[in-house]
Chains A and B, each alone.
Chain A
Amino acid sequence: MHSGVVAPLDQTDIDTDQIIPKQFLKSVSREGYGDFLFHDWRTEEGGAINPAFILNREPYKGASILLAGRNFGCGSSREHAAWALRDFGFRAILAPSFADIFRENADQNGLAALSLEESVVRELLARAHNEAPLRLTVDLEQCTVADSSTLVASFEIDDFRKMCLLGGLDRIGLTLRQAEAISAFEQQRWPNRPEVAPESF
């Protein structure tokens, strides 16, 4: 369960180049990207803060739920996008749809990328502007989004994703439990299917 201020970003197809521009991909760490989230929107040319951008304004500086248009996170596979959103303080992103790689990256980092009906998102966007600050509660267990008094939406999420987001599953550890199956697969496969093993290395 997470409650927080909602930052509305009324745009469709927000790509990962906007979420974290390329000049910040040179680090070898998973941390420290929050300051550069939406960098080219948050700053003016020359580096000064752009006071008009929503995440530079109160009460959104401390927002933890991002509300956006469809196909959020399209483009580059950079996981830095999920790291930057997390680092800034976002815990959930609500949008009609997400790009596939971004959603996976979000899952891997405990950032809940949740798809809501397009009409619901539109309504929430309007409320977030009119009733600012809109606070919502996202309940992953119950698959619901609620405001202070009532349920405003429910979403579908499969149990595996839910477990990953709730429990921070060790995904690699889970796969390594299949070590025998992997070895068996390699054994039966290699001699029979030379095309898949560039053994000339």
Chain B
Amino acid sequence: MIGDQPSTLLDKIWNNHLVHADPGAPDLLYVDLHLLHEVTSAQAFDGLKVAGRTVRRPDLCVATVDHNIPTTDRSLPVLDSIACRQMEVLRENAQSHGIRLFDVGDERQGIVHVIGPELGLTRPGMVIVCGDSHTSTHGAFGALSFGIGTSEVEHVLATQCIPQRRPKAMEIRLKGDRPMGVSAKDLILAIIGKIGVSGAAGHVIEYTGPVVESLSMEERMTICNMSIEAGARAGMISPDTTTFEYLRNREFGPNSDEFADLEMEWGSLKTDDRATFDRSVVMDVSDLEPQVTWGTNPGMVTGISGRVPNPDEIEDEEVRDSAERALTYMGLGPGTPMESISVDRVFVGSCTNGRLEDLREVARILDGKRVHSGVHAMVVPGSTAVRRQAELEGLDRVFRDAGFEWREAGCSMCIGMNPDTLSTGERCASTTNRNFEGRQGRGGRTHLVSPATAAATALAGRFTDPRGT
């Protein structure tokens, strides 16, 4: 409750961070954690310098290198001199402003949205920003966490505040029984398929219901991560004992003396019973199956037993045009069964699905088997810590024995800024978040899937329901 008004989780975090409000102007919110990486920060630091400003709270900033970084042998020099320069500039900026940087060679380096939670930096009730749209990931902890542009990065560096219009609150309630073998990735792909890629524009989504409550933290992160693909400003899940247990014994997490008090406070971070959302969507997940995208945005998705749709059967002209264009780009004919489509590449990784549980699931399916002869497959762990732990558990051996490449941590083929890209016409089953034209390399054809589906597909050489393997 705020005063005696029932309120949403969004309202509570918003009001807790409200520094200043002027009628007509955006609210000024305090930022608890500002995450930085090499691609969207250089111009912001430069802007500060030009204006003669400084970083207000370097102690609330954390930087890492993830987007550009090669995932091959880290002892070799980076061949791309422009990418190299960008990483060098981040080093210089971090050093001159006293910002903590988890650089190449640091055991804590990794994709910014993987390391935040893993290090205990991400906590319930925070406002977190980063110059990256997948910042929505951290909402899994009951934080308000969203992506910003470079001008806003500069704004936050200078003021530790961000001016924001209050978004609307949208509830997505998952009910029913989640079928065995249907992953968090399948849930979020199905949600985006239902509400569309702009279905949550202007809103912060709160995922609720027993299906959500039963998810692990890593599964919750996968769901919140892709909120942006439905157009949402952020996605969030109210913190509970699953959240609190995850946060224990993290390097930068709260110490054990603080924990009891914090749990009490975090426990109040939930939407009140009588609070109302601006919009509510209920989805029964009982009949869901593993999902595969067929087109060029994440909303163009179907079940693994489904077929590529026929644009002629789509009534809305614009939707039909998009579908036609997507099928041309993807090189697919209407009515093609998804399970008949063969792939050239399989990619496991990213801030969506590059965590330990994802890798364990892939290893479980690959164990003792070999990747199809026509498939080039790779695993890129989301962080160096994920890589180390996977190696301790022997997962790397399972991957290598199966014919997967086992790489160093980074964004890699999710964005294809480093040398890991698709060639024209190559088709990839990918555990990433975007299947836009050219996303993984010009002319590359990306199909978004869960880690389990990626693994089963790697073995069969075509899209395959992981529940049969």
Contact present for B149 and A105 (CB under 8 Å):
yes
* From A71, A97, A172, A195, contact of B262 by CB (8 A): A195
Complex CA distance for A193 and B126, rounded to whole angstroms: 11
Q: How far is the CB of B245 from chain A (nearest CB, A)?
A: 16
Binding-face segment, B21-29, B283-291, B351-359:
B21-29
Given contacts A40-B437, A198-B60, contact A172 B149 (CB under 8 A): no
Interchain CB contact under 8 A, B20 and A27: no
Known: A74-B231, A100-B231. A17 touches B434 (CB 8 A): yes
Q: Which residues does chain A contribute within 8 Å of B20, judged by CB atoms? A: 178, 181-182
Give A75 to B321 CA distance when docked, in angstroms. Answer: 20
- The answer to whether residues A172 and B59 also contact, given A101-B148, A160-B26 and a CB cut-off of 8 A, is no
Contact with B along A16-59 (1 / 0, CB 8 A): 01100111011111100000000010000100000000000000
Contact of A15 with B297 at beta-carbon distance under 8 Å, contacts A26-B417, A45-B443 already known: yes
- Hey, which chain B residues are within 8 Å of A40, CB to CB? 437-438, 442
Stretch from B81-89, B363-371, B372-380, B391-399 contacting the other chain: B81-89
The contact size tier of chain A is 35 or more
Cβ distance A31 to chain B, nearest Cβ, rounded Å: 10
A131 at the interface (CB under 8 A from B): no
Residues of chain A with a CB closer than 8 A to B434's CB: 15, 17, 75-76
On whether the beta carbons of B198 and A13 are closer than 8 Å, the reply is yes
- Asked if B201 and A198 make an inter-chain contact with CB atoms under 8 angstroms apart, the answer reads no
Chain A residues contacting B80 (CB-CB under 8 Å) are: 26
Give the distance to chain A from B272, nearest Cβ to Cβ, in Å. 20
Which A residues are CB-close (under 8 A) to B201?
A: 71, 97, 99-100
A11, B124: Cα distance in complex, Å: 39
Which B residues touch A29, using CB under 8 A?
A: 43
The stretch of A77-85, A136-144, A147-155 that contacts the partner chain: A77-85
B416 within 8 A of A: yes
- A75 contacts B436, C-beta separation under 8 Å: yes
Please state if A175 and B155 are interface contacts (CB–CB under 8 Å). Answer: yes
Residues of chain B within 8 A (CB-CB) of A176 are 158-159
On chain B, the residues within 8 Å of A70 by CB distance are 198, 318
- Is the beta-carbon distance between B322 and A200 smaller than 8 angstroms? no
Other-chain residue from B26, B85, B228, B424 in contact with A28 (beta carbon distance below 8 A)? B85
> Could you list some 8 contacts between A and B, CB below 8 A?
A22-B439, A71-B231, A79-B43, A104-B152, A105-B150, A172-B159, A178-B20, A195-B265
The 4 closest A-B pairs by CB, nearest first: A108-B151, A28-B42, A79-B149, A71-B198
